[in-house]
Amino acid sequence: MFKNFFFLAILSGLFAFGVSEVYVNGYKELADFTEVASVTNILAFSISVTLLASLINFGLLKFIKNPKIGNLITGIIISGLSIVLMFYVIIILQQDPTFKNKTAQEMSFLFRPFLTPIMFIPALSWFTFKPLFIK
């Protein structure tokens, strides 16, 4: 059973990474923020969020007998985590990073709006692929 959750986490994390990379590369025309939003950072974030979602769902389904309630609680936790991360980026992360790239430094005021959608992509990909692995 855990094998399905693990493969769900890896596949959805890799998908989220791919979608995030397309988004980051599309944003490069405006400002290149890849110094902070590097390939390894995005891959690690995507895999960690989807793995966390799978662990939470697996754990809840072991303790809660009704799978609908376990899935509902998991959905609330993962959606809430994405919203909390979005508010972290917008509100708490007050100081924009310093970029070596001059164009990126001039456009640093766009860094937080750039980063905000990336907070939702792993959760969305996990919810998308979940029906393929978990019945």
pLDDT exceeds 80 at position 96: no
Task: State both tokens at 77.
Answer: 């936790």
Does the CA dihedral 85-131-76-55 come out positive or negative?
negative
User: What's the mean per-residue pLDDT of the chain?
Assistant: 90
Banded pLDDT at 134 (limits 50, 70, 90): confident
Banded pLDDT at 54 (limits 50, 70, 90): very high
For residue 21, what pLDDT is reported?
93
Which is more confidently placed, 104 or 80?
Answer: 80
Output the CA angle 25-22-18, nearest 5 degrees. Answer: 135
Banded pLDDT at 126 (limits 50, 70, 90): very high
pLDDT tens-digit readout, 2-44: 899 999 999 999 999 999 999 998 888 888 888 888 899 999 9
Task: State both tokens at 109.
Answer: 């005021």
**Contact predicate 121/37, CB 8 Å:** no
Distance of alpha carbon 68 from alpha carbon 64, whole angstroms: 9
Distance of alpha carbon 68 from alpha carbon 114, whole angstroms: 35
